[in-house]
Amino acid sequence: MGKPMCRNLLKAGYDLVVMDINPESTKEFATLAKIAQSPKEVASCTEVVITMLPNSPHVKDVILGDDGILAAGRKGLTVIDMSSISPIVSRQLCSELEKAEIDMLDAPVSGGEPKAIEGTLSVMVGGKEEVFEKYYHLMKTMAGSVVRVGEIGAGNIAKLCNQLIVAVNISAVAEALMLAQKAGVNAELVYKAIRGGLAGSTVLDAKAPLMMHRQFTPGFRIDLHIKDMINVLETSHNLGIPLPLSAAVMEMMQALKADGLGNEDHCSLVKYYEKISNQILEP
C-alpha cells in the first residue's frame, strides 16, 4: 500500500523522505526521494509523517521506539497514521504525542492496493478539525474520498465498521451463491439477476465473479482481514457490545487460515462453504 501512495504523493509534487525496514521496498525511490534509515530520521526532517503499517504493535514501535518519531523531539510535527489499528491504541498514541506538542490524525483507508494505485482510496479520519483541514489536500492526493468522522480514534472506528460490513457481506454472497448452485440454479445467472436490486452492492460486484471463476489472488488477504476482525471484536468487547455476525465470520476466516489459505483473497470465504457443502462453486 505504501508504494503506490508514495507514487501519488510524488505525482502531486510533494517532496518525500521514505523509510521501510525492507530496503527493497525503497529502491525505486532512490532518485525520487530521500531514503531514511529510521522513523526518527524521517521525523527529524519533515513537517508531517505518514505511517502505513500492519497493526497496532508496529505503529507503537514506530512512534514510541528508541528510534521512533517521538525520539526526534520535533515540536509542531504532525503524524498521520493511515494504518488500520485499534482505536484504543490510536487514542493512547495521540495522548503521548500531544505531550511532546505533536498533532496526530488516525486516517485508515479502504480500497486495497488497486485503489491505492489509482489514488482513489477512501480515507476515514479522526482528529482535530483544524489539523484535518490543514492536511486534507495532502490526503486527497491519495484518495477519492477523505472524510473526518470525529475526534482521534474515530477514523479507526469507521474502518472497523467498514471491515465488519465487508466481511459479513462477502460471507453472505458466498452463502447465497452456494444456495443457488445446490438448488440446481446457475450461480452466475443468479448473480446477474440480483445485482440490480436491493441485494446489489460493491462487494457483490467485486467478489462474486472472483468466487465463481476461482480467482483467489489476494487483493486483501484473509490474514489481514483476521487482524482487522480481531480489532473489531476486541473493541466491541471493551465497549460491551455483542457482535454475533462478526464473531461468526471471524470463525470462518480462522478455519480458512487453519486450512493454509491465509494468504488468499478474502473472497476465499466461499471455500468455507464449499467445504461444508461438499461442492465446488462453478460459473
| CATH code for position 226 | 1.10.1040.10
Distance CA 187, CA 190 (A): 5
Q: Among 117, 151, 185, where does a domain finish?
A: 151
Q: Give the three cell numbers for residue 145.
A: 474520498
Beta carbons within 10 angstroms of residue 48's beta carbon? 16
- The phi, psi pair for 262, rounded to 5°, reads -60, -25
Residues forming beta bridges with residue 81, ordered by sequence position = 51, 106
Same domain, 30 and 145: yes
Residue 98 domain flag: yes
Q: Give the three cell numbers for residue 50.
A: 505518514
**197: which DSSP letter?**
S
Is-contact 197 228, C-beta < 8 A? no
Same domain, 29 and 136: yes
Same domain, 83 and 121: yes
Distance CA 143, CA 16 (A): 18
Helix axes 187-194, 154-182, angle to 10 degrees: 130
Mean residue pLDDT of the chain comes to 96
Same domain, 12 and 130: yes
Which run of H or E residues covers position 104? strand 103-106
Same domain, 133 and 215: no
Same domain, 22 and 98: yes
Residue 170 three-state SS: helix
Residue 282 domain flag: no
Is a pLDDT exceeding 90 seen at residue 208? yes
257 catalytically annotated: no
Q: Provide mean pLDDT across the span 160-176.
A: 97
User: Closest Cα partner for 148 from 131, 162, 161?
Assistant: 131
- The phi, psi pair for 208, rounded to 5°, reads -60, -45
Residue 283 domain flag: no
Which one from 159, 182, 192, 257 is the annotated catalytic residue? 159
Helix axes 154-182, 269-277, angle to 10 degrees: 30
Side-chain-side CA neighbours of residue 39 (13 Å):
23
Q: Among 98, 124, 151, where does a domain finish?
A: 151
Same domain, 182 and 124: no
- Of the pLDDT bands very low, low, confident and very high (cuts 50, 70, 90), residue 175 is very high
Kindly report the three-state secondary structure assignment for every residue of 46-75.
CCEEEECCCCHHHHHHHHHCCCCCHHHCCC
Q: Give the three cell numbers for residue 142.
A: 491519495
Q: Provide mean pLDDT across the span 173-197.
A: 97
Range of the domain at 137: 2-151
Same domain, 143 and 12: yes
Residue 10 domain flag: yes
Domain count, the chain: 2
Q: Provide mean pLDDT across the span 224-247.
A: 95
- Of the pLDDT bands very low, low, confident and very high (cuts 50, 70, 90), residue 283 is confident
Residue 149 confidence (pLDDT): 98
Which run of H or E residues covers position 80? strand 78-81
Which run of H or E residues covers position 147? strand 143-150
Residue 111 confidence (pLDDT): 86
Lowest average pLDDT, out of 49-58, 109-118, 217-226, goes to 109-118
Same domain, 118 and 199: no
pLDDT for 73-88, tens place per residue?
Answer: 999 999 999 999 999 9
Q: Provide mean pLDDT across the span 261-277.
A: 97
User: Closest Cα partner for 228 from 117, 140, 91, 108?
Assistant: 108
Residue 142 domain flag: yes
Is a pLDDT exceeding 90 seen at residue 219? no
- Of the pLDDT bands very low, low, confident and very high (cuts 50, 70, 90), residue 112 is confident
Is a pLDDT exceeding 90 seen at residue 113? no
Distance CA 115, CA 118 (A): 5
Greatest alpha-carbon pair distance for the chain in Å reads: 66
Same domain, 44 and 133: yes
- Of the pLDDT bands very low, low, confident and very high (cuts 50, 70, 90), residue 154 is very high
Same domain, 13 and 136: yes
pLDDT for 86-106, tens place per residue?
Answer: 999 999 999 999 999 999 999
Residue 107 domain flag: yes
Same domain, 147 and 170: no
Residue 79 domain flag: yes
Q: Among 134, 151, 168, where does a domain finish?
A: 151
CATH number at residue 116: 3.40.50.720
Residue 39 domain flag: yes
